[in-house]
Amino acid sequence: MRRAHLPPFDADCTACPRLAGFLDTARQAYPGYYCRPVPPFGDAQPELLIVGLAPGLHGANRTGRPFTGDHAGLLLYETLHEFGYADRPVSMAADDGLTLTGCRITNAVKCVPPGNKPEPAEIKLCNGYLKAELAALEPRVRLLALGQVAHSAILKAGGLKQRDYRFGHGAAHVLPDGRRLYDSYHCSRYNTQTRRLTPAMFKAVFAQIDSEKE
């Protein structure tokens, strides 16, 4: 895997051969899909940055917007609307007019991975984008990691040790720069259908974030 200087986002990135090859295959199989690295969505200077894992094959990879078009986005956008971050509770397509206020959604890995499982080297290389994204944000931004991979990616982007900030649903961490990192289980179909993550559990994390606003 080649190393490269990574800007905040590059819609033409092909730095990971396996992911670039998978996107080529997806373009042939689904010619109407977006099938490119998926950009962040929301405020340029948010109060809350939500970090997910990676685009889903038939979700963000299809629509071009994070958590849009698949099951994982149902609970997320419903909750964002309930807490005043989204102007509607359902995200249907990248051109549906939905707007986010005070919030932005991004992913630890910007390209859809086979089987929804990016490899460690891919997560590491793509971390340069997240690092640049975090560096461009105001110090007051709060961070929400959806799942262990997103949690680890945020820490890596900040040059922090994983052992000092353990992932756990509902956990909150104060980082050395003063930013707060909150953890939630990922709102994936598996987690919500098995009740590992319930709507009440998910919304409790947002309630905690809101209660600790400065």
The per-residue pLDDT for range 32-51, each reduced to its tens digit, is 999 999 999 999 899 999 99
Structural domains of the chain sorted by starting position, each given as residue range(s) with its CATH number in brackets: 17-211 (3.40.470.10)
With cut-offs at 50, 70 and 90, classify the pLDDT of residue 20.
Answer: very high
Answer whether 157's CB lies under 8 Å from 127's CB. Answer: yes
Cβ contacts of 21 within 8 Å, gap of 6 or more: none
Contact 149, 76 (CB under 8 A): no
- Please tell me which residue, 148 or 8, carries the higher pLDDT value: 148
Q: CA 84, 74, 69 angle in degrees (round to 5)?
A: 115
Instruction: Dump pLDDT digits (tens) for 94-153.
Output: 999 999 999 999 999 999 999 999 999 999 999 999 999 999 999 999 999 999 999 999
What's the chain's average pLDDT? 94
The model's pLDDT over 54-70, given as tens digits with 9 standing for 90+, comes to: 999 999 999 999 999 99
Residue 5 has pLDDT above 90, yes or no: no
pTM for the structure as a whole: 0.95
Lowest-pLDDT choice from 6-15, 87-96, 144-153: 6-15
Sign of torsion, CA 22 51 185 151? positive
Give, rounded to a whole angstrom, the gap between the first and last alpha carbons of the chain: 42
What SS3 class is residue 86? Answer: strand
Show the CA angle centred on residue 128, arms to residues 70 and 111, nearest 5°: 25
Given a cut of 80, whether residue 3 has pLDDT beyond it is no
Q: Decide if pLDDT at 214 tops 90.
A: no
What is the Cα–Cα distance from 213 to 87, expressed in whole angstroms? 20
